[in-house]
Chain A
Amino acid sequence: MRPSPLLLLVLVGCTPPPEAPVPIADPAGWMVAHADAFLSDRGQRRAWLESSLWQPEVPYARKRLDGYALPNGGWDALPEMAARTAAVQTDGSTGPWRTLPATPPSDIAGWRALGERVFHELPMRRDAYVEWLADRPELWARAGVQTEDGALGGLTRFVDWRGETRTGITCALCHRAEGQPGRAARGLDLGWARARYVESRGQAPGAYADWGRGRMDVTDDPVDDPLAIADLWTVRWQSHINTSGAVRLDTPAALAIRFETQFITGHAFATRPPRHLVWALAIYVLTLDRPPSAVPVDHPGAAVFADRCAGCHDPERGYAGDLVSPAGFIGQTGPAFSPMRGTGYLKVPGLLGVGEGGPYLHDARFDSLSALVEAGHPYGDPPPPAQAAALVDFLRHL
């Protein structure tokens, strides 16, 4: 996995990535301090949006710049969703209706607790295939919606702007697994579910059938580029989000705006979420934690990591990093050039929990850490066998 990214850029002569913002040390504290500005100052929200969309001509950015926090009209004028939801039960029925609080909390514990509820209860989008799947419990295990222990999460019912009961998906569907919020649901196979749905309508499944577990194509464009569902534990240390880094996290507010606009597009521009709920959700995601790493002192792989990997994967930032040019990468670099979100770069993901299961890389091309290391990661020469073994063992402890 040598050389370092800076050296690689020099070697291949590519454009250096933009200067990355320095993540705020206490993002939750920052968010509590700035909650009033987010909730009441449209101009401030607009400024945060514009600052975060560092490539404004990318269609993903342009849509948001055309609609969000405008002086007159725009998505701010959409009606707020009534935050009343009911979990889909294991027999397909609708559970008890519950309502998320209508007023913002006053302290960080309250914000985080609200964010946890939002993570599990707020429908971030609705789709015809989800409605179809929700009515077919016999398909849930295969689709990975229901895990082997029978647990079910992420499907929720809500009332849309017309007053009709719909079924949507929450953050937990894709970003909770094995009881751990923030862990990618690597068993989830929504491509399979989509394929079965379109087949039920007499249509060919197309690329959906090839997504595989733990992968989703998240951009509606002609390019077939399913991506691995990401763990969320290291968002707090990321300078950018989305695989191509289309959103710059120069402030934590950018994450809340990302969630708010994600909701609006996911609900077909008919409604917007109560704003304090997405603020709470961002606080929750930025404070997600996992069991502490147990890397043995003086692990021989640590030196290999420091030599070959730490130039991009910063140990002080959850082993996350900034943007890198895909020039010289092996394998798929499509997300860097996605028609909807391509920036020309790829985000360096965090590695906390990387040893708990693959597949690996943004396109999930490697099933195991060994395969990834032996292939030379996205670029560079594979380490010698002894170093590779030490490095793989080190990574398994992160």
Chain B
Amino acid sequence: MTPILRPVPAALALALFGCEQISQPPATVSDGLTAAHVGGHLGSYRDCPDEAWENHNADDAAPDRVAGAPDADCDGACGPLNCEAARLTFTLSNQSDVDAEGVEPVALFLLDRDGLEIVELPIAATLDEDGQPFDGALDAGGQALLHIEFVGLLDAAALVGPPADGDGAFDWRSGVQLRLLIGAATHDDTGLDTPLVYSLPEIDT
């Protein structure tokens, strides 16, 4: 699968997305929702490379794999898989005095070193703090911790390239940045750019 270069600045992307792809009521609360990155990783696909973005069929539904779950199709060698969906965790705050409804992460992009969107990563699920599906509601003045699980990459750095200012010593698996866009029925869109995010290490103590 060849990445599609989409050099769209963040602000413009938000504007375009809000106008063209999200059906919103005429008047939404502006500056009411704010998101902050908490943590995350690009997944682990050792036992399921076909589920990574590089091999993922865009027509397939994104997998919703539970970490450590056994392979449903195993044949005599059943056991937990080294396979874990990529995940991004963030807080979403509603700083307005209007309850937010229809809140939904709508797009996730891999960014190049210049902050431009180069690949859209399919979102599989949006979960609340307890791992349950998020219902899209956020009370006025409230804050929620949310997780999205998405189709991660086997080798994100290969798509993004090395940092322009890297000296080569530590660039072999430099992290990559992601951009998350969040829509809502009642509020203006919001989003966040992550700090560097990495593949989930198999060995790291």
Contacts and interface: CB of A to CB of B under 8 A. Distances in A.
Interface of A: 57-59, 62-63, 66-67, 72-75, 77-79, 124-129, 131-132, 135, 160-164, 166, 197-198, 200-203, 216-222, 262, 264-266, 268-270, 339-340, 342
23 contacts: A73-B90, A74-B37, A74-B38, A78-B89, A127-B202, A128-B82, A131-B80, A161-B131, A163-B131, A164-B66, A198-B82, A201-B77, A201-B79, A216-B203, A217-B203, A218-B204, A219-B203, A219-B204, A220-B204, A268-B67, A268-B87, A269-B40, A269-B87
SS class of chain A's interface: helix, strand, loop or mixed? loop
B188 interface: no
B39 A216 contact: no
Nearest to B173: A221
A198 B46 CA distance: 10
A220 B175 CA distance: 13
B129 A73 contact: no
Interface in B63-90: 66-68, 77, 79-84, 87, 89-90
A78 B198 contact: no
B130 interface: yes
Given A59-B170, A79-B129, A268-B67, A135 B79 contact: yes
Given A73-B36, A78-B38, A265 B201 contact: yes
B91 A77 contact: yes
Interface-centre pick from A57, A63, A218 (highest chain B CB count, 10 A): A63
A75 B68 contact: no
B161 interface: no
Nearest to B199: A220
B14 interface: no
B155 interface: no
B47 interface: yes
Contacts of A164: 66, 68
A322 to B, nearest CB: 23
Nearest to B35: A73
Interface of B is mostly: loop
Interface string B164-205: 000001101111000000000000000000011010111111
B172 A222 contact: yes
Contacts of A79: 129, 145
Chain B interface size range = 35 or more
Contacts of A132: 79-80
B68 A128 contact: yes
A74 B129 CA distance: 15
Nearest to B79: A132
A216 B204 CA distance: 10
A200 B79 contact: yes
A190 to B, nearest CB: 9
A270 B77 contact: no
Contact of B145 (A77, A129, A166, A269): A77
Contact of B41 (A216, A222, A262, A268): A268
B68 A126 contact: yes
B170 A75 contact: no
Contacts of A202: 77
A220 B39 contact: no
A285 B147 CA distance: 34
A169 to B, nearest CB: 9
A187 B38 CA distance: 38
A53 to B, nearest CB: 14
B160 to A, nearest CB: 15
Given A74-B36, A77-B36, A160-B67, 16 more contacts: A62-B175, A62-B196, A73-B38, A73-B91, A79-B145, A128-B47, A128-B82, A128-B83, A132-B80, A162-B67, A197-B79, A219-B204, A268-B84, A269-B40, A269-B87, A339-B173
A77 B169 CA distance: 32
Counting chain A CB atoms within 10 Å of each CB, the highest count among B39, B87, B147 belongs to B39
Nearest to B36: A73
A147 to B, nearest CB: 21
B79 A131 contact: yes
